Structure 1
Amino acid sequence: TREAATQSITLLKNDGILPHKAPKKIAVIGPLADVQMQDWYSGTLPYAVTARQALAARAEVVYSEGVDRIRLRHKTGYLTAVDGGKSLKITDTTGAAAQFDLFDWGGWSYTLRNVATGKYVDGRLDGTVGADSAGPHEFDVHETFTIVELEGGKLAVQQRYKAEGADAGKWLAIEGGRITLTEDRSGAAEFDFDFVVKAREAAAELAREADVAVVVLGDHPLVNGRETEDRQDLNLPSAQAWVLGEVLGANPNTILVMSSSYPYAVNWAAKHVPAVVWSGHGGQEWGNALADVLYGDRDAEGRLPQTWYTDAAELPVMLDYDIVASDATYLYYLGQPLYPFGHGLSYADFTYADLKVDKDRAGSGDELTVTVDVTNASDRDGVETVQLYSHQCGSRVKQPLRQLRGFRKVRLAAGETRTVSFTVAVDDLAHWDNTTGRMIVEKSRQRLMVGRSATNIVLSASVRIDGETAGPRDLAKPLAAASNDAYAGVLWRDETRASGDVIAAEEAGGWIMLGDCDFGPGYTTVTARVSGQASQLQLRVDDPLDGDVLAKIDTPMTAGVYDYAEVTVDFGGAEGVKDLYVTFESGPVRLA
């Protein structure tokens, strides 16, 4: 497990502060610095070595969890854990039982851990509230809350969990001096926050005294951004980001370590923090693995398995899974990511030379052998992940800007050169062709590229592929609407309860495009197979808005969405090979 964790740790940025140069005192700070999370669907850890524990074995460590410690003050007293945390009451005490550590997990999701019990506040299904939970640990999480500011500046606490059929979570309320849950917003208890410890100030004070500060931030795998729960943005949780900023202000020798289930848009950190490290929640030996990499006992071997964007605005809408149309993922993304797919730095420097492909031309059934010489040009051993991408130059369809075809992890001694080899089957360069309804290898030029990431390409070479040339669509045969080449404002729906796909209008003005239609023979009628509400379809060439109208099809209402009717109308003249657009003028009609 230590080896797996070590190889997963990814160095995203390094201004030379890493590897560690024998610091005497390290400030280890953050809500993930002394805990090892179990990721979603992971096994149970038999033990855990945290970042704090592993670094403390190598240097003097001072530690701050980096979370605010607060009291929730009601006009009648303080929220207090009683009976060992079995319940919460309003009392006059201000001691540990009335103090809570407030964890910010992003997306307005907070957990509160009582200082006296060491356990988390839990809103139970029976409406009672206590502070005796180990923390989020079940599929339905009852330990997360949102802090809501009320008119007049008071604060209310609302549970994030909502029962099936409920519009929102319940509120903390007071009933007979005890804390309960209520659905009634007007019955929510109103609090003020009194700070016992301000995380930013405490963390900065420790960092100021240390040689190096290691700030360990990230997510709770069961809280925000998981199955059934999507994040609304890509930002670090606000409280965590504030702690990082204060620590860096106190100590310029600050290293950001992120342990998370997903990427963050850490734009500020990427610009200002000297070193940025990321990995997933790496199991029981993660702390030792992290220390091995930070101290340079092992090279940083991890490479990003996803693109890190600068903002959620760079992503398609939540349920849009068409990566081609939305220019999503490393395959199609046109922008400049914060960190690209495949990115990860090494402590060594590598050079690439003498890229070769064993064939100038190739066809179906052939294999291409790609070789490149990689040299460790530094004075220390290191690990490089050599990545091979391809791009098809010229196609009747939109092709990926780059597509990973293979990668090789090579361990090179200082000064060592090694020839790295890849094999690419020409048949693996095939893509789905809507005109023929099958996978084809197109006649094209393929650019083969080697580099360190999807956007850090070092060398490239080209190969001619003797493949097929996709012909125009034969209008004498039925054209499936779902086999369109482009679309807007439409949805894919089931043709029958058993199989098939049809296109349904999401809104008036939606359209599909069927590319390269051969109008040569001079067709006079067109037949549409439709179902659903009465509507109108229009057929245009070359443009969905301004193209010449070839036909208007008034569709009837059918008995149901699985009951189809065929409508035949006259078809206006068109010549040659053109793109055919079908526009949905009104009504939720389905087109087969």
Structure 2
Amino acid sequence: DVVLCNVGTDDREGKDRSFELPVNQEQKVQLCVQHNPRTVVIVSSGSGIRMTGWNEKAGAILYSWYAGQNGNTALAEILAGKINPSGKLPITIEKEFKDSPGYGYLPKGESLDEKWTSQKEKEHPIYDVEYTEGVFSGYRWYEKKNIEPLYPFGFGCSYTTFEYSDLTVSKETFNENDVLLVSFQVKNTGKIKGAEIAQLYIHDIESTVQRPVKELKGFEKVELEPGQSKIISLQLSKKDFSFWSVKTKNWFAEKGTFTIQVGSSSKDIKLQSQVELQ
């Protein structure tokens, strides 16, 4: 038997919520996974939640976000195998909230109020919230700080498997007026039809300013029959290798060596190649 355990959060612009699930929902998940390891936890939420306490115990986790009027039909089709899931995370999900760049943002003496009302909002003092991570937002923060997330940006599961191969770049050395063509092959190595979202990142090996470990520069979704393979080609131009110069107030492409990275998520890089901007 399989247990379907549905949990979620009430997200809205008017108030913040805890990263942890409400106590009664957390207890419900723990009870389900304790008694049946074939538990599928369905998460209805607008952002990340803490899943560290049961992530390894659940048979599967289906992150449905806020699925809308036809969401239950889509969920049923995925659970029944009629549809092969192909979504990828647009965020990073931390193991603990202390790993987040937003940790500690609450002013001293404040706490999250689950019974927040519009009247309380009018009466409450207004605070400035400072974003101090700079360009290291999202997945860039965790990579800079060497923080291992629970699920990385771009992660997603499928009922089939994919193989990446044959990475080629049109030029090994180039100037700022060139356009690079990055091509690679993706093959469905499983037994059923599926779709994969291949992601293209670049890494600046040495820079005069602080830059992220890697930066997403392109992606493409490809649908493949079992055993089928396709060539994906993505372009990179001057802007993709540039950073914003606070001195010149403009985008600047600094000469040097870059690593072209292709993978299925920000954490799972399958192929790499180096190029030099002259």
Cα distance in 2 for residues equivalent to 1:234 and 1:314: 11
**Are 1:214 and 2:4 an aligned pair?**
yes
Opposite residue 216 of structure 2, the aligned amino acid is L
1:211-259 per-residue CA deviation (whole Å, 9 max, x = no partner) reads: 21100111123xxxx323123x411221101011112223222110101
SS of 2:240's equivalent in the other structure is: helix
**Which residues of 2 match residues 321-400 of structure 1 at below 5 A?**
321-324=131-134, 327-333=136-142, 334-400=146-212
**Are 1:304 and 2:89 an aligned pair?**
yes
Cα distance in 1 for residues equivalent to 2:248 and 2:52: 45
SS of 1:427's equivalent in the other structure is: helix
**Which residues of 2 match residues 65-464 of structure 1 at below 5 A?**
211-221=1-11, 226-231=12-17, 233-316=18-101, 317-318=104-105, 319-324=129-134, 327-333=136-142, 334-464=146-276
Give the total of aligned pairs.
Answer: 250
Cα distance in 2 for residues equivalent to 1:407 and 1:347: 21
Deviation at 1:396, TM superposition (A): 0.8
Higher strand share: 1
| Contact residue 239 and residue 251 of structure 2 kept, 8 A | no
| Contact residue 37 and residue 57 of structure 2 kept, 8 A | no
Runs ≥4 residues deviating over 4 A: none
Instruction: Provide closer, same or farther for how the CA distance between residues 321 and 297 of structure 1 changes in structure 2, counting only shifts above 3 A.
Output: same
Give 5+ residue unaligned stretches, structure 1: 1-210, 467-592
Cα distance in 2 for residues equivalent to 1:362 and 1:309: 38
Cα distance in 2 for residues equivalent to 1:348 and 1:452: 13
User: In structure 1, what is the equivalent of residue 109 of structure 2?
Assistant: none
Q: TM-score, normalised by structure 1?
A: 0.41
Deviation at 1:320, TM superposition (A): 3.3
Deviation at 1:361, TM superposition (A): 1.3
Cα distance in 2 for residues equivalent to 1:241 and 1:427: 45
SS of 1:270's equivalent in the other structure is: coil
1:54-104 per-residue CA deviation (whole Å, 9 max, x = no partner) reads: xxxxxxxxxxxxxxxxxxxxxxxxxxxxxxxxxxxxxxxxxxxxxxxxxxx
Aligned-pair identity (%) = 32
SS of 2:25's equivalent in the other structure is: helix
Deviation at 1:328, TM superposition (A): 4.1
Give 5+ residue unaligned stretches, structure 2: 106-128
Cα distance in 1 for residues equivalent to 2:66 and 2:247: 45
Cα distance in 1 for residues equivalent to 2:260 and 2:44: 34
SS of 2:92's equivalent in the other structure is: coil
| Contact residue 315 and residue 328 of structure 1 kept, 8 A | no
| Contact residue 64 and residue 75 of structure 2 kept, 8 A | no
Cα distance in 2 for residues equivalent to 1:395 and 1:432: 12
SS of 1:269's equivalent in the other structure is: coil
| Contact residue 33 and residue 54 of structure 2 kept, 8 A | no
Cα distance in 2 for residues equivalent to 1:278 and 1:250: 22
SS of 1:345's equivalent in the other structure is: coil
Cα distance in 1 for residues equivalent to 2:176 and 2:208: 19
**Which residues of 2 match residues 527-538 of structure 1 at below 5 A?**
none
Opposite residue 52 of structure 2, the aligned amino acid is N
Cα distance in 2 for residues equivalent to 1:427 and 1:364: 9
1:107-146 per-residue CA deviation (whole Å, 9 max, x = no partner) reads: xxxxxxxxxxxxxxxxxxxxxxxxxxxxxxxxxxxxxxxx
SS of 1:215's equivalent in the other structure is: strand
Deviation at 1:323, TM superposition (A): 2.4
Cα distance in 2 for residues equivalent to 1:381 and 1:214: 25
Q: TM-score, normalised by structure 2?
A: 0.86
Cα distance in 1 for residues equivalent to 2:264 and 2:139: 14
Cα distance in 1 for residues equivalent to 2:74 and 2:249: 49
SS of 2:27's equivalent in the other structure is: helix
1:480-538 per-residue CA deviation (whole Å, 9 max, x = no partner) reads: xxxxxxxxxxxxxxxxxxxxxxxxxxxxxxxxxxxxxxxxxxxxxxxxxxxxxxxxxxx
1:412-452 per-residue CA deviation (whole Å, 9 max, x = no partner) reads: 00001111111111233211123333221001111111101
Cα distance in 1 for residues equivalent to 2:194 and 2:239: 35
1:340-386 per-residue CA deviation (whole Å, 9 max, x = no partner) reads: 00100111011111111001112222111101111111111111110
